[in-house]
Amino acid sequence: MTTPPGTALEVGARVHFTALPGIPLVQAGDALGPLIEDALTRAELQLEPGDVLVVTSKLFSRSEGRFVDMSTVVPSEEARALALEVDKDPAQVELILRESVGVSRKRPGVLVVRHRLGFISANAAIDMSNASPAHAAPGTGPWALLLPEDPDKSARDLLAALGVPGVGLVVSDSFGRPFRVGTVGVAVGVAGVPAVFDQRGRLDLHGRELQYTITALADQLAAAADLVAGQSDEARPVIHIRGLRFVPAESHVRELLRDPEVDLYA
């Protein structure tokens, strides 16, 4: 949920981010709860109320078996025509269209779409790196990895498996941004912690009441954790955060999404 106007979120002067060590390459069917519990033990950490875990979407996608063998994807006529426009592989374009509800921007080498989950992203956030399942049969592939079917549910289920009240969880991915170079971590799923911190009604340093300030808390946590997790061969898919105090919330990532009718970038 969104925090009610004026509700306090307490952030200490020092917030600790710890990459949990020793998490293996997850395969379809692997239970994430025991893997994270073992990693917490190795890091000499125990979950406490107010802690937040930021878990990369790829970990959930692999566990949920969201692999696609690109050699089995048959492009539609629409995908073939669009592939010619954007100079992309027709099978890849077909998969992007299957995961999307509309094309936002297109030009050679670039295909930006509205994902079925509501996000605006390049290539429907389909991952083509380190995407193959274990023991892939010879002659198969290349492989793609889709976002989890329902990242909010994935986050809720993992929190339930961990069984510690008052803990938050953010499912993260890396997205580009309009008018800015480079990618940053963003939330694609959230549970237990408010997705959005509504500061309207609070006072600034000069006693003026804030009228418009709403903070994308889950995105802030995802971006900060992304700095620790890394983007290449670091193999740090789970980040533990300590130093926040928040009211546990039944939150949803859609709270972070602007209505398409008022979104100037859509």
96, amino acid identity: I
Q: Are residues 41 and 59 in the same domain?
A: yes
Write down the pLDDT at residue 136: 81
CATH no. for residue 107?
3.90.1660.10
Backbone angles phi, psi at 4, to 5 degrees: -60, 150
Q: Verify that 14 and 110 share a domain, yes or no.
A: no
Question: Is 5 inside any structural domain?
Answer: no
Query: Against a cut of 0.85, is the pTM above it?
Result: yes
Check residue 175 and give its pLDDT: 92
Q: How far is CA 201 from CA 12, 198, 204, 210, 246, in A?
A: 21, 9, 10, 5, 18
Residue 187: how many other CB atoms lie within 10 Å: 31
Tokens of 140: 């198969």
pLDDT of residue 192: 94
In a domain, 207, yes or no: yes
- 152 & 244 share domain: yes
Domains held by the chain: number: 2
> Per residue in 60-80, pLDDT tens?
999 999 999 999 999 999 999
Predicted pLDDT at 48:
96
φ, ψ dihedrals at 256, nearest 5°: -90, -10
d(CA 137, CA 64): 19
Instruction: Calculate the dihedral angle through the C-alpha atoms of 74, 124, 153, 66, rounding to the nearest 10 degrees.
Output: 40
Task: Write out the residue range of the structural domain in which residue 158 sits.
Answer: 10-64+147-258
The answer to whether residues 214 and 254 belong to one domain is yes
Q: Helix or strand or coil: residue 186? A: strand
Residue 136 lies in a domain: yes
- Final residue belonging to a domain, choices 121, 145, 169: 145
Backbone angles phi, psi at 28, to 5 degrees: -55, 130
| Per-residue model confidence as pLDDT tens for the chain (266 residues) | 555 444 457 777 789 999 999 999 999 999 999 999 999 999 999 999 999 999 999 999 999 999 999 999 999 999 999 999 999 999 999 999 999 999 999 999 999 999 999 999 999 999 988 788 877 888 788 999 999 999 999 999 999 999 999 999 999 999 988 888 999 999 999 999 999 887 666 767 777 767 666 788 999 999 999 999 987 666 899 999 999 988 888 889 999 998 877 766 66
- Of 111, 145, 179, which residue sits at a domain end? 145
